[in-house]
């Protein structure tokens, strides 16, 4: 099974939580850190991402990229 890695542009994230709710593997959470705009950006909290890209598709601020890591 392929693995994935989530990259979140913290300056674009507005803490809406839609990505957290959309993740079927529950690997995302809202961070305790505060970005330059006063929001708490989402972050990948654990391994287990399957690179489905549901988080990126639901993000209204286009702040998420998902990278697929194929295991050989």
Across residues 11-34, what is the average pLDDT? 97
Residue 72: predicted pLDDT: 64
CATH of the domain at 34: 3.30.70.20
Across residues 40-46, what is the average pLDDT? 95
- State yes or no: pLDDT of 26 exceeds 80: yes
H-only helix segments in 2-41:
18-22
| 1 band by pLDDT with thresholds 50, 70 and 90 | low
| Neighbouring C-beta atoms of residue 1, cutoff 10 Å | 6
Residue 71: predicted pLDDT: 73
- State yes or no: pLDDT of 7 exceeds 90: yes
**Number of structural domains, the chain?**
1
- State yes or no: pLDDT of 38 exceeds 80: yes
d(C-alpha 50, C-alpha 47), whole Å: 9
Domain hosting 20: range is 3-69
């Amino acid at each position: 099974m392929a693995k994935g890695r989530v990259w979140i542009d913290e300056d674009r994230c507005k803490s809406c939580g839609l990505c957290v709710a959309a993740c079927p593997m529950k690997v995302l959470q809202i961070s305790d850190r505060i970005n330059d705009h006063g929001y708490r950006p989402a972050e990948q909290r654990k391994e287990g991402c399957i690179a489905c890209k549901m988080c990126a598709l639901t993000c209204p601020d286009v702040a998420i990229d998902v990278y697929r890591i194929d295991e050989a």
